[in-house]
Structure 1
Amino acid sequence: MQEEPEVKDESKTPRRKHRRGLTRIAAACERCRRRKQKCDEKFPTCGPCAAVGANCVLSERLTVVAQASPDGDDALRDELRHLRAQVTDLSQRLAQEKERSASVTQNQELKHDSTSPWTTGQPERLGNAGHEAASAVKRRQSEFEQGYYGRILRPTFGTAHQSRVDAGDKSSAWSLWKDDHSVETPSEHPQAENIASHEDHGLALTNIFFDQRWPHLPILHKPSFMRERFEPFARGEELSGVGRLQLFMVFAIAALEQSRVKGKHSYSHRDLFNIAIRDLNSVLTSEDPECITSLLLLCMYGRTEPQSVNMWHTTGLALRIAIGVDLHRAESIRHMDLMQAEMSKRLFWGVYAMDRSMSIYLGRPLGIQDADINLPFPLQLTDEDLENMNHNTVLPRTRADVKDMSTFIHLIKLRKINAEIYRTFHSVTTNYLSGAELDRVRQDLYSQLNEWLITAPRYSFTTSMFQSPEWFQTAYHLAVISLYRPSYAQATPSIEALQLCADSSISLISCYGSLYAKNKVSYSFVALSAIFMAAVTMLYSLRASPQVRKDLTRQVIETNINSSLMLLRGISNGREVAERAAHVIQGLGNAVLSLFDNEGLHRTNTGNDANEKQNVDREFLSWFGLKSRMMKATAPAEIQGEQIQFPELGNMDGSDDPLATLSVDMAWEDLFAQGFGMDSSTGMDFFPHSGF
């Protein structure tokens, strides 16, 4: 009988930790190897890592490497390893992008979806914990919007109670726009998302933007914009939040331009803007260049709709971000390729130009000084040049092209001159120069302005207002007015300065009239302020100087007054602010025209006449932002052999000098020509502070 084999009791036999013949994972991932757990080697994410949502990184420590064969297996293996690393990297980036998109979508649904349980608060679906979570999300979102979203969308010009500074001590823009609520509220549910696929209107608006507004601020690269923004949207693909905002801001800005010509299928720029700002919360979380670009697009829109965008805050935010990443330094672009370097230069100088414009028009400090900037200007290249040109063979164009940087570069040069004029003559704490030194500085700046005008680029044909000869003329004359009009450095201009002010003011009104006649001028608060300031300066020069009045006739002055009124009302499209400006010009114009009547020139000053002239003179300097400086002069003056001093006023600049001197020249001499009584008058009585 055959003996049966003995059966061993496996329960009593110790298990071997490593038995021969078991399959061993060839390449466990880093996490599984570190935790000494079994890895199923799934690619690109193994099972254990996927279960906990961990980052799965392949490891080569346990990989059995075969001997190299002479047929090139090593090269194939290296290529495979490289491709696997690329796939892993792309998978991680895709997961991050999906997570970010899901977060943005969730925030939007919490705000807009009325059927969501987060907004309806159904207890059977949420429970107490759900209610608390929903409240926390809403609270965080509300805090986020109040801190950034709402601040960017506040009006540029606040109401009177928001500032204790008298409007007469600010620029004309503040006084014109304060308490202006004439801009209508955009609709809550605009229906314009399908604009890109509706009769090519999206493409038409995009071309309008790049043809008409882009030359003034070329912060977008058109081929890249079309490839990354417009074309995917036209195909119905989903864009990122910042991409969608930039696309619809381009549409909204172009719709502003198109509003001059009422199209059959025109879209409301306010509806398009309202769609764009749905993604405003994604701007401040985007990369720095994209964030700056988005903020500047908001500013471009805000030039026309100052009640929709806080220009000062938004421009300052863009400038601070740009400085924070050293865009103002040439060293920041040293290791960039041609495309990155040129777009960085365009971006910074775009912020620079916007900052200079806003600071000067709003009467506030410059955001950065020229001495802190060593970044060169952009090269005079077109977007197509950047797209196709080898960076080793960059040759800027020798002739101006409507699609290159010639307009933008020339604008930057002007903003540099504007900033120097503002810093020297209009800063609140400007140092008073001697008469000879002040004349020397002014003459040097005037020469720079003349050279700038002479070297302005010329184009055979352009559809952009910013590339027309009239626009270069208006920018030049506006700078001349700023250089020679009453300022903190010199409150009482000379006869020559008044003559230049009158000539430039009349020329500026004429140039804007030419643009308006060609239907090329677009409404913006900058354009309206320029026309208004030109009219005020023209009337002031006539009011202050008999010599200027002698060179003109009453009919000529009436024509220029009527032209300015027509322009103010024509370009504003019925806005309340234009009527305010027209009312001021009409009143000052009537006061100045009375000087051309014989009885107005020779009659004796009665009490009523003197008070009326006081009010007119006070109002003129109030529009120049000099209300608090009207008693402060650059040099003593004598009236009938006596120097007038007002010890009770003290010094307007806060120094210890107890005396303030009133300087009287041609602007005020007719107030005293007939013996206006000063015995019982103080400085405060002479120039009452009840503003216009």
Structure 2
Amino acid sequence: MPSPASTARAGTSCRRCHRRKKRCDRTLPQCETCLHAQVACSFLDDDRQVGTYPIAYVQGLESRVRDLEKQLTAALASTGLPDGPRGELAFDQPIVNFATPPDTDNFDNLPLLSPPAHARSDFLAEELKRLSLEATAERHLGSSSGLSFAKLTQAVLRRLSPDKAEFVFDDMPEDTQDQPDGPLPEPFQDAAASLLDLHNAYSSPCLFNQLSLSHVMEDETVLADLQLPDRGHISYLMEFYFAHSHTLYPIIRRGEFTSVIWRVYSQPQEPLAGSALWMFRIWMVLAIGSTTHCSVSLVEESESVLYYNKAMVYFEEAFGLGDMAALEVLMLQVSYSFFNQIGPNTFFLVGVAARMAIGMGLHTSSSYLNLPADVVEYRKRIFFSLYMMDRVVSMTLGRPFAMHDDDIDIQPFTDVEDENLTPTGYPATLDPLHPSSMSVPLHILSLRRIASEIATKVYSPRTAHLSPFQRESLLQSLHKKLIAWRRAMPFPLPSTNSPVPHLSSSWFDLNYYTHVAMLYRPSPLFPALDETKVKVLAMAAAMSIRQAMNMHRQKRFAYNWLNLLGVFQSALALMYATTAQPDQLGVVVRESKAVEDLELAVELLDAFGRKFGAARRLARMVREVVVRLRGYECE
């Protein structure tokens, strides 16, 4: 039986398992289920299938190729042969015959080539880098991503080593036989415990799952025959979409959408059932509602993937129906990619959408002249939803924003319900005792604008010319803005039957403390922290973890890649702030609750491990730091 580490796996289930609704282990060249049934597996002749290999295996192959190239160069030099292009060498036989496919049936007999299993001293930075890049985009990570901070944390962890040498983490992968309890979604069932074993390259069109774009075309008959689910299930998914994604990014006009979907459901001959744009909207709303529900409940994702694939049937035609339609189509894909990325990566989608919006002039007030009031509000909701998406993704990666605040001269959308919007306007006075459904996205927009200031003023190299007084004033000013934002939280929050994260006060607390931690961790504004700032950072990081745990216990926490990064960065900040304080480490550990808070972070990462294989590795690393810190409690 081949080990999981040495086994190639397909991107999706084989056709037989898919049709029989059986769990497929996706082993290449033939899945275990078909092998036991003694039937031919579709993997054997499916040239559209995408196979994945452990990163460690590929790295080993690359290392072996480099070694062989060096040996060849040395051999050529010793024999006096010219070291020219390979094509100029007159070998009697080719070293590898690429015209003949390898004997895939003997794949399991191939030795696993892997890098040396020695301890590494740059693990925290490497883990954060791989986690961020696997989530959203290609190579470059900037300062706001926390990469430099991860390296600094690695350095201060020397205090936990007996000889004050580099604190290193064991580079050996976990025992992949120990699977977490509870339902494990099929796309993640074979995710390795180590980030080095994640199956996707950085430029892969997948996130942490193994579903690729080829799955959209795998079984056209299934998609062609797919009908809308029953009325009760549609209602549930719609409620989850509008309570969750819509209050973050109000892209869809709720009243209009609700009317159309029930007309299409009740009357299959409804003219809008033939509209590619409306069918794309309907299936994407169901897909996003399903995947956001899965992110909270940690159940398997096959339903959302199926709905997404159905929506993509209408993508090309819908994309060609004008600029606003194309922009909405892209933004619905971005909204889906925050939870379950199957198509192009999030950073790419946001960049394309942002350039399209700027090309349409949605950032300038002149573009809204002579438009009906309801159209103005709708377009502003679209634009500022895209603005918020850009801030989230760009700050996660530490990259320049696609849209700059100085270029935007329009006011945000209005705090008014859809039913109060008319082509001629909306009520001049709004009821302050009953905030509309737009109050939450407007408040989140305020937070994204503060985050934008943090990125451009705290993490910018242009801060080098500021005096110490100016730096301190800037820091205090941004902190006061965060406090004012938290105090101005909409109240009462909209009520919903769905366990939506950002409709609880804990979500606002979590975001407040997360941004305070971002503000106070070492940055170009304050490369070195004094004791006061270190203690503020420790408090903010600890409170971030506690608020995330509160939401986890309330079953309101979204297990998506953004929150996985957030929990890991909070753990990094707490590890740094604990070990960087000038007092005796034993005193710091005993007087603070750092160990208990880091144990909460481990518990959260273990929960993420049911969906993301990378999280299990991160949990093991934080657990190792906890063990070291425990040793100082008795000193």
Between the aligned partners of 1:459 and 1:189, the Cα distance in structure 2 is 47
Structure 1 segment 212-227 matched on structure 2, within 5 A? 212-227=244-259
Cα displacement (A) at 1:308: 4.2
Partner amino acid, structure 2, of 1:236: P
The one of 498, 514, 521 aligned to 1:485: 521
> Which of 272-281 and 173-182 deviates more?
173-182
CA distance in 1, matches of 2:257, 2:231: 20
**2:478 is the alignment partner of 1:442:** no
What residue number does 1:544 align with? 580
* Closer, same or farther: CA 438–260 of 1 in aligned 2, 3 Å: closer
1:325 aligns with 2:360: yes
* Partner SS state of residue 200, structure 1: helix
Question: In the alignment, residue 225 of structure 1 is paired with which amino acid?
Answer: F
* Counterpart secondary structure, 2:274: coil
Letter in 1 for 2:611: G
What residue is the counterpart of 1:521 in the other structure?
557
Q: Does 2:221 correspond to 1:185?
A: no
Aligned pair in 2 of structure 1 residues 385, 159: CA closer, same or farther (>3 Å)?
closer
The higher relative CO (CA closer than 8 Å, separation ≥ 6) is in: 2
- The count of aligned residue pairs is 441
**Native 8 Å contact 1:423 1:430 kept in 2:** no
Secondary structure in 2 matching 1:259: helix
Q: Is the 2:141–2:147 contact (alpha carbons within 8 Å) kept by the matching residues of 1?
A: no
Secondary structure of the residue that 1:577 maps to in structure 2? Answer: helix
Moved more, 183-192 or 368-377: 183-192
- Match of 2:570, as an amino acid? A
What is the CA distance between 1:350 and its match in structure 2?
A: 0.4
Q: 1:400 to 1:551 in 2, by over 3 A?
A: farther
- Answer whether contact 1:381 1:404 (CA < 8 A) is retained: yes
Whichever residue aligns with residue 584 of structure 1, its letter is: M
Q: 1:516 to 1:261 in 2, by over 3 A?
A: closer
Query: For the structure 1 residues 436 and 174, does the alpha-carbon distance in structure 2 shift closer, same or farther, using more than 3 Å as the test?
Result: closer
The residue correspondences of 1:19-418 to structure 2 (distance < 5 A) are 171=146, 179-181=198-200, 182-185=208-211, 187=215, 188-189=218-219, 191=222, 194-229=226-261, 231-237=263-269, 238-259=273-294, 268-306=303-341, 308-386=343-421, 391=425, 393-401=427-435, 403-418=436-451
Asked if the contact 2:545–2:567 (Cα under 8 Å) also holds between the matched residues in 1, the reply is: yes
Q: 8 Å contact 1:480–1:504 — kept in the other structure?
A: yes
The alpha-carbon deviation at position 208 of structure 1 amounts to 1.7
Is the CA contact 1:180–1:577 (under 8 Å) kept in the aligned structure 2?
no
Once the 2 structures are TM-superposed, how far is the Cα of residue 280 of structure 1 from its aligned partner? 2.5
Matches within 5 A, 1:553-592: 553=590, 556-592=593-629
Distance in 2 (alpha carbons) for counterparts of 1:421 and 1:263:
33
Structure 1 window deviating more from structure 2 (169-178 vs 276-285): it is 169-178
Match of 1:466 among 493, 496, 502: 502
Alpha-carbon distance, 1:316 to partner: 1.0
Q: Quickly say closer, same or farther: Cα 1:410–1:263, change in 2 above 3 A.
A: closer
C-alpha separation between the residues in 2 aligned to 1:547 and 1:265?
A: 47
The one-letter code of the counterpart of 2:210 is E
CA distance in 2, matches of 1:174, 1:232: 52
Alignment of 1:636-655 (within 5 A): none
Identify unmatched segments of 5+ residues in structure 1: 1-154, 599-692
TM superposition score normalised by structure 2: 0.63
Partner residue of 1:496 out of 524, 532, 553: 532
Distance in 1 (CA, whole Å) between partners of 2:300 and 2:628 is: 47
Aligned to 1:452: 485
**Which range is displaced more, 567-576 or 525-534?**
567-576
Which one has the largest radius of gyration? 1
Distance 1:379 1:390 in 2: 14
Q: Distance in 1 between matches of 2:527 and 2:597?
A: 25
For residues 142-162 of structure 1, give each alpha carbon's deviation from its aligned partner in whole angstroms, at most 9, with x where no partner exists: xxxxxxxxxxxxx996579x9
After TM superposition, give the deviation of residue 371 of structure 1 in Å. 1.5
Letter in 2 for 1:496: T
After superposition, the Cα gap between the structure-2 partners of 1:229 and 1:290, relative to the gap in structure 1 and judged at 3 Å, is: farther
Change (3 A) 1:517 1:546: same
- Decide whether the 8 Å contact of 1:157 with 1:174 is kept in 2: no
Cα distance in 1 for residues equivalent to 2:527 and 2:554: 38
1:494/1:359 Cα in 2 relative to 1: closer, same or farther (>3 Å)?
same
Checking the alignment, whether the CA contact within 8 Å between 1:498 and 1:548 is kept in structure 2 is: no
Q: Is the 8 A contact 1:381 1:397 kept in 2?
A: no
Which whole-Å deviations, capped at 9, do the CAs of 1:453-487 have from their partners, x for residues lacking one? Answer: 11111225344321211111111111101110011
Alpha-carbon distance change, 319 to 169 in structure 1, aligned in 2, over 3 angstroms? closer
1:580-659 paired onto structure 2 within 5 Å = 580-596=617-633, 598=635
Contact 1:180 1:576 survives alignment (8 Å): no
Q: What secondary structure sits across from 1:196 in the alignment?
A: coil
Q: Partners in 2 of 1:579 and 1:166 — Cα distance? A: 23
Identity across matched positions, percent: 21
Structure 2 CA distance, aligned partners of 1:167 and 1:422?
10
Q: Relative to structure 1, is the Cα distance of residues 444 and 294 closer, same or farther in structure 2, using a 3 angstrom cutoff?
A: same
Aligned-partner Cα distance in 2 for 1:261–1:319: 29
Within 2, Cα distance between the matches of 1:479 and 1:369? Answer: 20
Distance 1:174 1:198 in 2: 49
Aligned residue number for residue 643 of structure 1: none
Question: Is 1:561–1:589's contact at 8 Å kept on the other side of the alignment?
Answer: yes
Which runs of 5 or more residues in structure 2 are unaligned? 1-129, 151-193, 201-207
1:535 to 2:562 alignment? no
Secondary structure of residue in 1 paired with 2:558: coil
Q: Shift in Å at residue 383 of structure 1?
A: 1.9
Q: Distance in 1 between matches of 2:414 and 2:302?
A: 36
Does structure 2 retain, via aligned residues, the 8 Å contact 1:474–1:512?
Answer: yes
TM-superposed CA distance for 1:338, in Å, is: 1.8
Q: Which amino acid aligns with 1:574?
A: K
Structure 1 residues 180, 582: closer, same or farther in 2, change over 3 A? farther
- The match for 2:122 is none
Task: Give the conservation status (yes or no) of the 8 Å contact 1:172–1:529.
Answer: no
- Measured in 2, the distance between the counterparts of 1:414 and 1:296 equals 20
Q: Check the 8 A contact 2:372/2:424 in 1, yes or no.
A: no
* Counterparts of 2:349 and 2:492, CA distance in 1: 33
Distance in 2, Cα, partners of 1:177 & 1:372: 39
SS in 1 for 2:313: helix
Q: Deviations over 1:389-430 (max 9, x none)?
A: 9626443342353x5211111111111110111111223565
The code of the aligned residue for 1:202 comes to I
What is the letter of the counterpart of residue 485 of structure 2? W
Deviations 1:606-647 (CA, angstroms, capped at 9, x unpaired): xxxxxxxxxxxxxxxxxxxxxxxxxxxxxxxxxxxxxxxxxx
The whole-number CA distance in structure 2 between the counterparts of 1:200 and 1:556 is: 46
Distance 1:400 1:287, change over 3 A: farther
1:345-380 alpha-carbon deviations (Å, 9 max, x no partner): 101100101101111001100112211111111111
Shift of the alpha carbon at 1:287? 1.7
Say whether residues 1:475 and 2:502 are aligned partners: no
